[in-house]
């Protein structure tokens, strides 16, 4: 009987599909330090971002036939090594793209209308402070007609472009692996196609009103002070990709010196304990790594994981 350890959780629909296929599904969380011994009992492991599946763990578990990652990035898995050992490595790149893209726009909309800070200030101001805050936050801006720069034209980047086009934004994109791509936007019945070409990194930084990052983890930050100095001083940057892609010290300095207008962060270099300066900064909108955390995305992830595991383990 095939046994699967779901160590970071799965939606009920996914568990039900796996059990209906005849697999034993264990959703008990096993601490990372105990996996070297206990994972030997299982044929497959299903993780999110919390559990690490590195070379040492793979070597210690000769029965392992599949590693499944609920989500897009697989930075926590030694993918090439696992595949070299004949282990199937799967993820769910399409399941949460819309949810992540919509959260990026939530940050953009919140920052342009000061929702992140007015939500903190209004409860303590009372009746007398209402008019003062109304005046203080009366200089919001629209997204319509602005330029959205997208770094990385994978599934999430394309979804972001689709939403941006639907909101009347201009799109700039940078992806060294993509020369040009088709973006469809609008309801299926009225869908419109637009060709988006990849520009240079510098051109995107200089000309974008909003910049959103959608690339895998890198060895060093992609956005540093040099990049901030190229941006418009009213630009807003969004990172719902990977912590560490933005140099957080440089970000705070750029905001404090009015090099850019604001930042929306769903990921942090110090997760799960982000730098408090980021959490408390009035020009930063923060969420606790919830880009893919919608009911729709989680159900899609559960279904897609189950389908792929059934396919490779049957």
Q: How many CA atoms lie within 13 A of 199 on its CB side?
A: 17
Whether 16 is catalytic is: no
CA distance 65 to 43: 5
- In the three-class reduction of DSSP (H, G, I as helix; E, B as strand; rest coil), residue 282 is classed as coil
Residue 259 reports pLDDT greater than 90: yes
Rounded distance between C-alpha atoms, residue 261 and residue 210, angstroms: 10
CA distance 98 to 157: 10
27-78: pLDDT as tens digits: 999 999 999 999 999 999 999 988 999 999 999 999 999 999 998 888 899 9
Is 41 an annotated catalytic residue?
Answer: no
DSSP tally for the chain: helices H, then strands E: 12, 13
> What is the dihedral sign for C-alpha 284, 285, 287, 290?
negative
* Beta-carbon contacts of residue 261 (< 8 Å; ≥ 6 apart): 111, 233, 234, 235, 236, 283
Mean pLDDT of 268-283: 95
Question: Confidence class of residue 189 from pLDDT cuts 50, 70 and 90?
Answer: confident
Active-site residue identified among 102, 271, 277, 307: 271
- 162 closest CA partner among 174, 177, 150: 150
The edge-to-edge listing of strands for the beta sheet with 44-47 is: 24-26, 3-6, 44-47, 66-69, 88-91
Cα dihedral sign, 135-264-200-171: negative
Closest CA to 161 of 174, 148, 175: 148
How do residues 92-130 score in pLDDT, each as one tens digit? 988 999 999 999 999 999 999 999 999 999 988 777 789
Asked whether 42 and 18 are in contact (CB, 8 A), the reply is: no
Intra-chain end-to-end CA distance of the chain, in Å: 11
pTM: 0.87
Mean pLDDT of 161-171: 97
Q: What's the whole-number average pLDDT of the chain?
A: 95
Q: Is 289 a catalytic residue?
A: yes
Contacts of residue 11, defined as CB under 8 A and 6 or more positions apart, other chains included, come to 298, 299, 301, 302, 303
When pLDDT is cut at 50, 70 and 90, the band that residue 225 belongs to is: very high
Query: What pLDDT was estimated at residue 93?
Result: 83
Given 242, 248, 281, 304, the catalytic residue: 242
Residue 288 has a CB neighbour count (10 Å cut-off) of 13
Confidence of residue 257 (pLDDT cuts 50, 70, 90): very high
List of residues 6+ apart from 173 with CB closer than 8 A: 149, 150, 151, 153, 157, 161, 181, 196, 197, 198, 199, 204
């Amino acid at each position: 009987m095939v046994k699967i350890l779901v160590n970071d959780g799965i939606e009920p629909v996914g568990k039900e599909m796996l059990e209906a296929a005849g697999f034993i599904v264990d959703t008990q969380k096993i601490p990372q330090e105990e996996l070297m011994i206990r994972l030997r009992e299982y044929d497959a492991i299903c993780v999110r971002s919390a559990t690490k599946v590195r070379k040492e763990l793979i070597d210690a578990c000769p029965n392992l036939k599949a590693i499944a990652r609920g989500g897009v990035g697989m930075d926590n898995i030694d993918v090439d090594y696992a595949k070299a050992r004949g282990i199937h490595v799967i993820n769910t790149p399409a399941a949460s793209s819309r949810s992540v893209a919509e959260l990026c726009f939530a940050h953009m909309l919140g920052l342009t209308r000061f929702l992140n800070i007015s939500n903190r200030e209004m409860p303590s101001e009372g009746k007398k402070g209402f008019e003062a805050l109304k005046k203080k936050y009366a200089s919001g801006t629209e997204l319509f007609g602005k330029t959205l720069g997208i770094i990385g034209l994978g599934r999430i980047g394309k979804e972001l472009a689709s939403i941006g086009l639907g909101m009347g934004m201009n799109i700039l994109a940078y992806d060294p692996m993509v020369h040009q791509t088709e973006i469809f936007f609008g309801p299926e019945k009225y869908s419109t196609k637009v060709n988006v070409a990849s520009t240079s990194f510098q051109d995107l930084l200089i000309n974008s009103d909003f910049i959103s990052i959608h690339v895998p983890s890198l060895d060093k930050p992609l956005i540093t002070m040099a990049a901030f100095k190229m941006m418009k001083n009213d630009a807003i940057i969004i990172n719902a990709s990977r912590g560490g892609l933005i140099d957080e010290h440089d970000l705070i300095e750029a905001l404090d010196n009015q090099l850019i207008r604001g930042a929306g962060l769903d990921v942090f270099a110090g997760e799960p304990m982000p730098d408090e300066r980021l959490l408390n900064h009035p020009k930063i909108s923060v969420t606790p790594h919830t880009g893919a955390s919608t009911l729709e995305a989680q159900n899609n992830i559960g279904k897609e994981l189950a389908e792929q595991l059934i396919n490779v383990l049957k």
